[in-house]
Structure 1
Amino acid sequence: MFRRDLLAGAALAATASALARPSLAQPAAARTLKYVPHANLPNIDPFTNTAFVARDHAFLVFDQLYGMNDKFEPQPQMAQGHVVENGGLLWRFTLREGLKFHDGSPVRGRDCIASIRRWGRRDAFGQELLARVADMTEDSDRVFSIRLSRPFPKMLEAFSKVTTSCLFIMPERLANVDPFTNLAEAVGSGPYRFVQNEWVPGSSIAYVRNPDYVPVANGTPSMTAGPKVAHFDRVEWRIIPDASTAAAALQSGEIDWWEQPTADLFPLVARNRNIAVDVINATGLIGIFRPNHLTAPFNNPAVRRAVITAVNQMDFMTAVIGDATVPGYQTLKREGIGFFAPESPSAATVGLDRLKKSIDAARAELQAAGAMGARLVLLNATDLASINAATLVGADLFRRMGFNVDLISADWGTVVQRRASKNALDQGGWSGFFTFWSGVDHWNPASHASIRGHGDAAWPGWPTIPAIEAQRNAWFDAPNDAAAKAATTEMQRIAFEEVPYVPTGMYYQPTAYRRNLTGILKGQPPLFWNVRRA
């Protein structure tokens, strides 16, 4: 059923704008938030770079048409509201008044249309939307329309999603850049401006408060929805790959917030009475091994299934997070994880019996598949403790199975660049890598990029699995919850047969920050509005 839903405008914009101004009585150091992200940012384009660190950077600089609250409900953000007409085939969006990009130009309907097109070329959810778009037109500077060839009731979920790649609105001149070419500048309309000339890849990144930003006038901050009030004049990211150095900087007060303290060090920082340790992402982080479906031996599904037979998810999660706990969590690790987040409505149990934790059975399967002794080029990001720990466990597992493992270690940025290569192994290609997705990334088929099987257009690894795509389409068109659940259950059954990737377990990542910070929002991604210094 479709409804008119034209939401209230920004009547209290002036009040919200006043709230965004920090007190000038504070010293400069107090008006700067210093933060250590989990990884280096080698690429500032939020559409070409699907790494979480690129998304986290983008939420400072860009804004979305709709935000998502902590109940996973879309809320108007840049949009004042929308109407849905013609049986769901016409959506008309109205922008809030006074929206401006950091270069001073107004945000217009044509910027939104160009951004949707660029995003939709790269993102799994966006690709589904564009497949149904008949045309998009700018009706006026503040109004644009999307006409569909068939209904797309999940439009707002697509616009508000926090999974990579998110739909960020950028000026038309940037949105018209080829979606497979990295942007050279980051110009958005968000609460902070990216300071291009202070960006030192591998060292530091700086953002300054956007004085022209007008937060949403009503509601309360909740994840990426509600007023985005910037209480700091500057946000500085410090890239500190060495965990001990980051821990020492947090304890001394040199930094304010360390996004991902390592398992061996977060009990140490938690003993400091000036530091809080908390879990802000309650959906957890799901580990995966992504095989390259284009190159031997993982172009053979029997070889991919052998890896599933061998995997003990708890071995991976223990290496990543250890046995420590934080308040509210008796354990920070989970096993028995399938192809959807365990708390999601898409979760299923079918196929979990294939996780046999048996090296002997896996060796027999590998021998039968003719892949015993096959060479693997395994990529490892040594500057990310979780990925490094999982990769080392995986490399040992693969060797015990009978593979000849060539471990290629580099920083995360280099791994991201290399995994884009479709070359043969002896020409700079790769066999597989370990990584993590937020549980919300695996919440449903729309946001789940790594389960897709659409070949060359898929996430690196490029599986071609038409049966999974058919069930994904069935989920989009499901008439009720039961039909949607049947589709995701069948997707998981097929995934355990065809193995687009191997699930390696789930853990909850604590974050650590100085106790004089307040207002850190729960959810994904780490957010820098609403945070203030007590």
Structure 2
Amino acid sequence: MELNKIYKLAISFISILLLITLIGCSNSDTSGTENGKSDTEQTIEDPQAGGTLNVAFAAEPDTIDWMYTGASSTRDIGWHIFETLFALDKNYETKPMIAEGYEVNDDRTVYTISIREGVKFHDGSTVTAEDVAASIDRWRKVSSVGKIASQYIESVKATELTIEIELNEVYNSLLVDMSAPKSALMIIPAEIAESAGEQPLKPDQLIGTGPFKFEKWDRGNEIVLTKFEDYSARTEEDWGGLTGKKVAYFDQINFKIVKDPQVVVNGLKTNLYDYGQSIPPDLYTVVESTPTIDPVTYINGYSIITPDKSEAPFDDLKVRQALNYALDKKTIAQAAYGNEKFYSFDGALFVPEQTKLYSEKGTDMYLAYNTNKAKDLLEQSDYNGKPIKIMYANNYDDYKNISEVVKQQLEAVGFKVELVPYEWATYLEKWADPANWDLVVIGWSTRFSPNELGMLSLDTSSSGWYQSERWENLIAQYSNVTTDAERKEILGEMNQTVYDELPFVKIANESTLDIKSTKVKDYDSWIGQRFWNTWKSDK
């Protein structure tokens, strides 16, 4: 939701499909096409270079440091500026990006990674092994994915254009972690990585290798990127996703902060904007009936409610069980999304499209709506009748709608409830302190590995300070699987653990609705806004 919408939301452990930072999923997915058209139906015009793309962006990020957070608002801008050693292709498979290739020794404890020669940073310098090693060192400290991988890394050595990573034990998820599109292992100059340390990058430190470079940030108004003329492109045209050949056709991209979706739709109609993000599903019919606008949909994780498990009342499992039984998720989803094209019901940690990550085992309690059981459990619990605070970001109608219906349903079984709305940036700030909330409503954009599931990152605000030896053991087991059968077995047990311990309550899978001008050509959303390899026609 890709957190379409954490650590500002954030996370991490990829595998083969993704998030996200903070969103949803459904059966309709037109990523890779324009308005659902096949390749043969799309434009036959030659790409036009130049011009400016104006993007109406729904939520201003706290930072553009793609390593520091898993928030989708950071990701969707950051991956234009920065690139990773390895990245996911259009089929969610791990492929090299800044890396040229790699070798693994016989006992799978030493990875030798070669780096592409001549890859340029935006400051004109060339990527070296020292830059990569320094980036890995920072990733191990600040990234939710990197922190997990770091437990297995014994040493990182840089030699010419080669990195040698020695592990203290077998960790088969290393390359998957390195290609995570959340809290990413983006490669930055060593001097910047070392000076930034564990703090988010400042604007003058936003130096990457991507097809666009950071130009300026007028807070509250817009973030401007410009074309990187010396971009070092790969040559693989069919990889897609976050790797392969990237061409920056636009001279400039303006990410304009526009929080009112009706303003976004009107702006597309009047050519004020070329692309609009996060449009409420109830505007779909308006979008579909406007000849100059194409709807763009893509899977984007799911919405959840996370309890604060560090203190009463949700430190009591019986109260969390009462919460799950009290919620009629079908009613909640209908109120939140309206149009059934944009939500679906599935209790698994990953979505069916993620074939290697999906298992429906262990999800029997997903739709366990039973108000009588909820009332009984609440009476048996230590809940003392004190109002619980549901916190949500009021920038998003779905969060607001979910919160309002949840309040009604919880009050019906005996909870007292107070709604606590905040603007997005304040909401993220408040999230860090358990005194501010008892339940958080949030959307998590698509994830690609159990390590990336930020709502389950142990002892963090994003997971509501979840503590679980069982989950920790499952993560360790998953890192060493060698067969699909083993993977599926552990994924089923992971699902079961969530419903046994209830660190969060899943509402529904979501699909995001974005919109674009029909003049924007060859656009492929994949799992978020990406504006390389796309261009704007003057027709």
Identify the TM-score tier after normalising by the shorter chain: 0.7 to 0.9
After TM superposition, give the deviation of residue 379 of structure 1 in Å. Answer: 1.6
The code of the aligned residue for 1:92 comes to: T
The code of the aligned residue for 2:488 comes to: K
- CA 79–68 in structure 1, closer or farther in 2 if over 3 Å, else same: same
**Partner SS for 1:277:** strand
After TM superposition, give the deviation of residue 124 of structure 1 in Å. Answer: 4.2
Which residue number in structure 2 is paired with residue 32 of structure 1? 52
Which residue number in structure 1 is paired with residue 405 of structure 2? 393
- Whether contact under 8 Å (2:361, 2:493) holds in the other structure is no
Which residue number in structure 2 is paired with residue 243 of structure 1? 261
The answer to whether structure 1 residue 89 and structure 2 residue 89 are counterparts is: no
Which residue number in structure 2 is paired with residue 510 of structure 1? 513
- Whether contact under 8 Å (1:70, 1:522) holds in the other structure is no
Which residue number in structure 2 is paired with residue 370 of structure 1? 382
- Whether contact under 8 Å (2:114, 2:163) holds in the other structure is yes
Structure 1 vs Structure 2 CA RMSD: 2.1
- Whether contact under 8 Å (1:63, 1:168) holds in the other structure is yes
The answer to whether structure 1 residue 341 and structure 2 residue 365 are counterparts is: no
Which residue number in structure 2 is paired with residue 143 of structure 1? 162
| Cα distance in 2 for residues equivalent to 1:276 and 1:261 | 12
How does 1:65-464 map onto structure 2 within 5 Å?
65-140=85-160, 142-162=161-181, 164-177=182-195, 180-185=198-203, 186-196=206-216, 199-220=217-238, 222-279=240-297, 281=298, 283-323=299-339, 331-344=341-354, 345-353=357-365, 355-371=367-383, 373-422=385-434, 425=435, 429-439=436-446, 441=447, 443-452=448-457, 454-456=458-460, 459-464=462-467
Tell me the TM-score normalized by structure 2: 0.85
After TM superposition, give the deviation of residue 375 of structure 1 in Å. Answer: 2.5
| Cα distance in 2 for residues equivalent to 1:181 and 1:377 | 30
| Cα distance in 1 for residues equivalent to 2:414 and 2:112 | 58
Between stretches 307-316 and 396-405, larger displacement belongs to: 396-405
- CA 112–396 in structure 1, closer or farther in 2 if over 3 Å, else same: farther
The code of the aligned residue for 1:172 comes to: A
Which has the bigger relative contact order, CA under 8 A and spacing at least 6?
A: 2
| Cα distance in 1 for residues equivalent to 2:330 and 2:64 | 35
The code of the aligned residue for 1:146 comes to: I
| Cα distance in 2 for residues equivalent to 1:74 and 1:500 | 30
Which residue number in structure 1 is paired with residue 492 of structure 2? 489
Between stretches 399-408 and 235-244, larger displacement belongs to: 399-408
- CA 165–135 in structure 1, closer or farther in 2 if over 3 Å, else same: same
Pick the aligned partner of 1:533 from 529, 532, 536.
536
**Partner SS for 2:185:** coil
Between stretches 99-108 and 411-420, larger displacement belongs to: 99-108
Which residue number in structure 2 is paired with residue 12 of structure 1? none
| Cα distance in 2 for residues equivalent to 1:203 and 1:402 | 44
How does 1:37-56 map onto structure 2 within 5 Å?
37-56=57-76
Q: Deviation per CA, 1:145-177: give whole Å up to 9, x if none.
A: 111122222222112122x21221122233225
- CA 176–306 in structure 1, closer or farther in 2 if over 3 Å, else same: farther
**5+ unaligned residues in a row in structure 2: which ranges?**
1-46
- Whether contact under 8 Å (2:66, 2:79) holds in the other structure is no
- Whether contact under 8 Å (1:336, 1:352) holds in the other structure is no
- CA 245–295 in structure 1, closer or farther in 2 if over 3 Å, else same: same
- CA 520–315 in structure 1, closer or farther in 2 if over 3 Å, else same: same
| Cα distance in 2 for residues equivalent to 1:371 and 1:52 | 35
After TM superposition, give the deviation of residue 178 of structure 1 in Å. Answer: 6.2
| Cα distance in 1 for residues equivalent to 2:321 and 2:134 | 41
Q: Deviation per CA, 1:418-466: give whole Å up to 9, x if none.
A: 11224xx2xxx32121111234x1x5423222234x325x734120011
The code of the aligned residue for 1:314 comes to: K
- Whether contact under 8 Å (1:41, 1:201) holds in the other structure is no
- CA 312–383 in structure 1, closer or farther in 2 if over 3 Å, else same: same
The number of equivalent residue pairs is 487
Tell me the TM-score normalized by structure 1: 0.86
After TM superposition, give the deviation of residue 52 of structure 1 in Å. Answer: 0.6
The code of the aligned residue for 1:388 comes to: K
After TM superposition, give the deviation of residue 179 of structure 1 in Å. Answer: 5.6
After TM superposition, give the deviation of residue 504 of structure 1 in Å. Answer: 0.7
The code of the aligned residue for 1:239 comes to: I
- CA 95–354 in structure 1, closer or farther in 2 if over 3 Å, else same: closer
- Whether contact under 8 Å (2:347, 2:363) holds in the other structure is no
- CA 103–251 in structure 1, closer or farther in 2 if over 3 Å, else same: same
- Whether contact under 8 Å (2:305, 2:504) holds in the other structure is yes
| Cα distance in 1 for residues equivalent to 2:197 and 2:466 | 21
After TM superposition, give the deviation of residue 354 of structure 1 in Å. Answer: 5.4
**Partner SS for 1:265:** helix
Sequence identity, in percent? 23
| Cα distance in 2 for residues equivalent to 1:369 and 1:240 | 44
Pick the aligned partner of 2:480 from 460, 463, 477.
477
| Cα distance in 2 for residues equivalent to 1:219 and 1:340 | 28
| Cα distance in 2 for residues equivalent to 1:287 and 1:478 | 29
**Partner SS for 2:119:** coil
